[in-house]
Structure 1
Amino acid sequence: MMDNPPLKTLVVDDEPLATERLQLLLARIGGVDLVGTASDGEAACRMAEALSPDLLLLDIAMPGMDGIDVARELGRSAARPAVVFVTAFDHFAVSAFEVEAVDYLVKPVDPSRLERALERARAHLAKREAGIQASAPAGQYLDEFWASDLTGLVRIRAIDIDRVSAERDYMRLHVGARSWLIHHSMAALEEGLDPSLFVRLHRSAIVRRDFIAGFQRNASGRWIARLADGTEQPVGRLYADSVRAIAGR
């Protein structure tokens, strides 16, 4: 006997095979009441209004009204469902954060990641029902990224990122000796990453706090961050207060 009532779930995807795969995965995981499927954004909004689902498993790239638009529209309703995006693309993660998605899954969906997303959705709905305003609600901060490489897509956990550097319209995620490019803005990443773990030190650099080994001033009096890998990161004048905050001064 299950401790929790099943999640009333609406699956939205314009690809029939993707919808079928999600249905099979949900049946194996259990704890879900699939109340319907929709193949476009407009139908998703109509069905959500009629069926009042707890959760939408929502594709993003759809013709007409896309998944971000659907989440934004449903976010205005009183009984708004939790949203988990399920997409073939990695570059919508920041947009997903902006519409307060509970989680973000990249196709082909891994069963264990789907199960974790369902757990997050339950936790999110339970907190909302109890009227709890958590200091860091489920899904508030990005905890992973998907980046392209020669073999396909690579999952990068946020807590594994040493630093982020800007390269024109792209951000480079540095993890040890390796790095990957993703198509995000620095401002959106600064908002999306947990500020207890990361700090922005320059208009083109975000660094994980425990990756900072120390600070020193250069000949002109500017702060320089010494990083754990032996490299140095200049601190922008606008971010000097971050140095004082980290150093407790």
Structure 2
Amino acid sequence: MNQRPIRTLIVDDEKYSREELIFLLQAYSEIEIIGQATTGHEAVAKIIELQPELLFLDIEMPGMTGTEVASVLKEMQSPPYVIFATAYPQFAVEAFQVQAKGYLLKPIDESQLTETIEHIKTLKLSTTGQQETTEISQGKLAVETEGSIIFLAPEQIQFVYRDDKNTKVVTSDHSYETKMTLKELEARLTPFSFFRVHKSYLVNTSYITGMNPWFNGAYQLHLSGSTEQIPVSRNYVKPLRAKIEL
């Protein structure tokens, strides 16, 4: 079974170091870089927002060091794996005290990087089953509304769509905006019976009640409790039917 790419955040206050690491990581199809941060405080904020699975983290940064960031992460319920990438070998002991999964010295050796990524793949594979079970039974999606955060259970969500530059999460009685992309939401919601039916739409298949022909091989979906007509691109019609039909 193929694993989804490992969602990865790069944290380093030096632009050249970030660009070099990103260049090296582009050779690995199992790595998906979802963002960058230049300080420890920015890193914590982006970890909360983007929920990466893997963190490449510099140690010597102004304001908040990498090991301080890692100490904060230890308090999270599902923290990302931490790989320190630093020019200073003397911090290795301290790094592993905060449960780092790897320690790379700059300039980064490509063979060591490969070994590190293989190690992370093994760790992820060993915990995927347990994590997916937990997510399916307990996971909730955080969305912001009027300055507060609302937690939605996946079964409350009828569909998600991209509206210009905004992503909307729709329930039976409300529409919420989120900063996450449709691709990010697809990765999180697919285990909960969600399916991409169009480049701009992700639908909870448990709400589908009917599908009518539209034009050029495309269809429109009818959802329980909704008056919306959801477009289904012709390329998605066959896999959608295979997913929802007995």
Aligned to 2:69: 70
Q: Does 1:32 align with 2:31?
A: yes
> What is the letter of the counterpart of residue 15 of structure 2?
P
Describe the superposition over 1:179-238 as per-residue Cα deviations: whole angstroms up to 9, x where unpaired.
xxxxxxxxxxxxxxxxxxxxxxxxxxxxxxxxxxxxxxxxxxxxxxxxxxxxxxxxxxxx
Q: Does 1:89 align with 2:55?
A: no
Question: In the alignment, what sits opposite 1:41?
Answer: 40
Give the drift of 1:123.
Answer: 1.8
Give the distance between the partners of 2:27 and 2:128, measured in 1 at CA. 27
Structure 1: distance between partners of 2:86 and 2:107 = 9
CA distance in 2, matches of 1:4, 1:49: 23
Match of 1:53 in 2: 52
Establish whether residue 128 from structure 1 lines up as the match of residue 127 from structure 2.
Answer: yes
The two structures have a TM-score, normalised by structure 1, of 0.50
Q: Which residue of 1 aligns with 2:109?
A: 110
Deviation at 1:110, TM superposition (A): 1.0
SS in 1 for 2:18: helix
Counterpart position of 2:21: 22
Q: Which residue of 1 aligns with 2:97?
A: 98
SS of alignment partner, residue 115 of structure 1: helix
Q: d(CA) in 2 for partners of 1:89 and 1:130?
A: 36
TM-score for the superposition, normalised by structure 2: 0.51
Structure 2 Cα separation of the partners of residues 120 and 53 of structure 1: 17
More helix as a share of residues: 2
Q: How far, CA to CA, are the matches of 1:124 and 1:16 in structure 2?
A: 29
Separation in 1 of the partners of 2:119 and 2:92?
Answer: 16
1:65 Cα deviation after fit:
0.6
Whichever residue aligns with residue 45 of structure 1, its letter is V
SS of residue in 2 equivalent to 1:95: helix
The number of residue pairs the alignment matches comes to: 131
Separation of aligned partners in 2, 1:125 and 1:98: 21
The one-letter amino acid paired with 2:109 is D
- Residues 102 and 124 in structure 1, CA contact (< 8 A), matched pair in contact too: no
1:150 aligns with none
User: Retained in 2: the 8 A contact 1:56–1:84?
Assistant: yes
Equivalent residue for 2:200?
none
Alpha-carbon shift at residue 9 of structure 1 (Å) = 0.2
Q: State the SS of the aligned residue for 1:79.
A: coil
Distance (Å, rounded) in 2 between the aligned partners of 1:29 and 1:110: 15
Q: Superposition pairs for residues 64-213 of structure 1, below 5 Å?
A: 64-131=63-130
Instruction: Please tell me the residue identity of whatever aligns with 1:6.
Output: P
Partner deviation per Cα, 1:42-61 (whole Å, 9 max, x = no partner): 00000000001000000001
Give the superposition deviation at 1:30: 2.6
* CA contact 1:87–1:107 (8 Å) conserved in 2: yes
Letter paired with 1:77: M
Deviations 1:122-165 (A, max 9, x none): 22233334459xxxxxxxxxxxxxxxxxxxxxxxxxxxxxxxxx
Percent identity, aligned pairs only? 39
Other structure's SS at 2:89 match: coil
